[in-house]
Structure 1
Amino acid sequence: MKRGLFGAATIAALTFGLQPVWAQDSVKIGFVSTFSGPQAAIGEDMRRSVELALEHLGGKMGGKKIEIVYEDDQFKPDVGKARSEKLVQQDKVNFVAGYIWSNVLLASLKTVTDEGDTILISANAGPSQIAGELCNKNFFSTSWNNDQTPMAMGEYLNTKGVKSLYVVGPNYAAGKDMLAGVKRTYKGKLMGEDYTKWPDQLDFSAELTKIGAAKPEGIFIFYPGAHGVQFVKQWAQSGLNKTVPLYQVFSIDAITLPQQGELALGTLGAQEWVNDLPNDQNKRYVADFKKKHNTYPSYYGAQSYDAIMLIASAAEALKGDLSNKDKVRAEMKKADFKSLRGDFKFNTNQFPIQNFYIQETVKDPQGMMTVKTIATAVTAAKDPYYEKCSMK
């Protein structure tokens, strides 16, 4: 049976509603993402990778079938919170995963982890607050803390000898973290810093005019999804692509490249996962995803795939018995699964300790736009907030 995008259409949840969670004959996972509006392509990419993970698992974990309840946050924190509450209270899921946006995750966190005492796995958003003082025994990440990826780019810019930088990002939790991250490690001169309206602003002409006047040696941006498409196009239209290199995080990927096209060629980004990482699990994932969808997966998808495999590792170790949440959390902490990025382990705040790579936008031998690894920027990186976490 084909799964739809929304939980009510995908799961016969009522048959389980009167049973204790541990007695269910399935492992039930709620997945919150954006499935409508201009950023729906990200949610779809995540869903595709979740479905591929289910296929690779044979539709079962710990001897029980897997059920996914997809919920659309509509790119809105209040909607994301309401959908998260539904998953915990009405659908009685064992786990909640997903979350693209930091503001949506922050709005939903306590609803899931505290009020619902349910384990939440972020497959993307990594607000600094949750890595630090808001860390929670029920929260795990298969992505990163927001600051880490731009910190890796800052380190790389230092080695590259970029002496001045102009930074631009959206005015919300993740945007602030991302710009703080690159400023934390970059040692050159900061020529300017702009925060744009989120999510409404898609015209960056004023910012590009200021950048042109400042004459930096580089531009650093964080603009995921549709916003990244628009910034790259306008950067090229302004002519700055001929004079000021663009360095980015989460702005050029498998989702945006079909629209950015050759305008993105040669740009550099940082990421903890790249499609060409040479471990067997990653090779299988990328090959199977491309075969199914005729495109490369993105890091959103890779992180979502890892979230499902992390859950599966705990369910397998406990033979499907999820009744003791302390035992479930203990198995999750072990991270005993084959991650697409290779070695995977958690820090004390349950964010990954991991490498970050520099990727370049290229064409593959078949002429498809993609990214390839050109350097390792940071090895076994810990986020800068874990010492503020009360968990030890």
Structure 2
Amino acid sequence: MKSVRSRVMAVLVQNGLWRKGAQVSSQLRRAAVLVACLYVSALGIFPANSQQAVPARPKIGLITSLSGQSAYIGTDIRDGFLLAMARESRLLGREIADIIIRDDGMLPDKGLEQFRDLQKTENIRLFAGFVSTDIAVLAVPEMVKSGALYVSPNAAPNALSGKACHPNYFVMSFQNDSMVEIAAGFASQKGYSRAYILSASYQAGQEAASGFRQHFKGTVVGQSSVSFGQTDFSAELKKIHEAKPDVVLQFLPGSLGLNFLRSFQEARMSDKIAIVLPASALDHRMTAIAGSSAAGVFVTSHWNVDFANEANRAFVSEWQAKYNRPPTLYAMQGYDTGLAMAAAVVGAGGATDDPQAIARELRKADFRSPRGPFRFGRNQHPVQDWWLLSVKKNAQGQYQLSTESKLKSIHSDSYADQCILPELPHAPSPT
């Protein structure tokens, strides 16, 4: 207020409307100040209506797993999302959105409950965050049916990818089958002819096993489903030994996968049988913990920390400076979700939470992804490159994921053609 008063007085003096020490009536003084204010406003020195200068911010509900067995995944998604929103807000010069964060505890019923509560108490219509396929299958149909918009930073179940696709449902990670399709395709190209499939006993694990079986060109000689919390793999190792595969196609996330890799190494099977798996079953955090038991494992992914593009270098640098830990693919997916939603909010005018308006802008994919080229396919799932990674020691003697070669360019998922949505522009993002 003081700076505004000073500018008003300066205009009065410059235009002869005020002289220090002059005796003027209060009525004339008020008139002079009013004239000066109108003059200053016309010059654009301060806005005529300052309350309208900053538009209202939309709210985004971020519901993710911050407790339970996958808490680190939800934490990385949250931190990546907030990092991107903060970055875009700095560039814009104001906060883009108010982020309301809730923990679903990796429980489907709780995830649905959190959505209902945020919609009722906060009137939120824009959502993101689920880690688990089980939660997405339960909550997303109700979300989009209510008119809300949901952008997934991770889970992308088959049931929502094809005929049941929806204009208000977007995915920023990959369709569940894509990760195993690429892994099975690589195993086939590598010349492996006998595969044993090992997957976790939940929705995403079932879809992974089905995808492996569908896309592997050789013979599947055996399959096992493993319960979360299992630490003894002697029965599975015995079955693998008897089946005599030349490759194990594995989808065991988190500690489940770590325990299996250690057991596999201790049984001295890693010298004879290859392991191929998607990065969601062996991310950067898990690789560092697994150490030598992950050496030589083949990993398929849509991103790696060592990608040399400018957007990835900026992301990795910002992440490490902010959080002092290496980013995972979940961090990148959360970051891209934040970038995409920020661009959509700004593109829609910056003050609306109208799901249809935001969806129109989201389809443009107007952001630079750390993974490289990115656009949405017909079912609003990513069309992107896929890469082969391997586990190697770095200069410090630590095991890490190292990029080897590109496996697929601008690859869409196998469910996209089943999706029928109104024809809308799907512009590729800058590369």
TM-score of the superposed pair, with normalisation by structure 2: 0.81
Residue 345 of structure 2 corresponds to residue 315 of structure 1: yes
Structure 1 position 261, deviation (Å) = 1.6
Q: Deviations over 1:1-31 (max 9, x none)?
A: xxxxxxxxxxxxxxxxxxxxxx983232211
Query: In proportion to residue count, which structure has more helix?
Result: 2
SS in structure 2 at match of 1:276: coil
In the alignment, which of 90, 96, 107 is matched to residue 138 of structure 2? Answer: 107
User: Which protein is bigger by CA-based radius of gyration?
Assistant: 2
The 2-side partners of 1:270 and 1:328 are apart by 32
The 2-side partners of 1:292 and 1:208 are apart by 42
Structure 1 position 338, deviation (Å) = 0.8
The 2-side partners of 1:92 and 1:367 are apart by 51
SS in structure 2 at match of 1:120: strand
The 2-side partners of 1:232 and 1:224 are apart by 11
Residue 370 of structure 2 corresponds to residue 327 of structure 1: no
TM-score of the superposed pair, with normalisation by structure 1: 0.88
Give matches, 1:241-390, under 5 Å: 241-249=270-278, 250-390=280-420
Measured on the aligned residues, the alpha-carbon RMSD in Å equals 2.0
- The runs of at least 4 consecutive aligned structure 1 residues that moved more than 6 Å come to none
Residue matched to 2:114: 83
In the alignment, which of 73, 88, 93 is matched to residue 42 of structure 1? Answer: 73
Residue 213 of structure 2 corresponds to residue 151 of structure 1: no
Give matches, 1:54-133, under 5 Å: 54-58=85-89, 63-115=94-146, 117-133=147-163
Residue matched to 1:12: none
Give matches, 1:197-236, under 5 Å: 197=227, 199-236=228-265
Q: Deviations over 1:202-230 (max 9, x none)?
A: 43331122111112101111112222222
Contact 2:60 2:126 in 1 (8 A): yes
In the alignment, which of 257, 266, 271 is matched to residue 237 of structure 1? Answer: 266
Q: Deviations over 1:157-209 (max 9, x none)?
A: 12211121100102222112212222222111211012223x34443331122
Kindly provide the amino acid, as one letter, of the partner of residue 378 in structure 2: T
SS in structure 1 at match of 2:417: helix
Contact 2:58 2:351 in 1 (8 A): no
Contact 1:166 1:190 in 2 (8 A): yes
- Equivalent pairs: percent with the same residue? 27
Kindly provide the amino acid, as one letter, of the partner of residue 255 in structure 1: R
Residue matched to 1:3: none
Contact 1:84 1:111 in 2 (8 A): no
Which stretch shows the higher mean deviation, 378-387 or 284-293? 284-293
Unpaired runs of 5+ residues, structure 2, are 1-53, 423-431
How many residues get paired? Answer: 368
Kindly provide the amino acid, as one letter, of the partner of residue 358 in structure 1: L
Unpaired runs of 5+ residues, structure 1, are 1-22
Distance 1:322 1:99, change over 3 A: same
Contact 1:39 1:226 in 2 (8 A): no
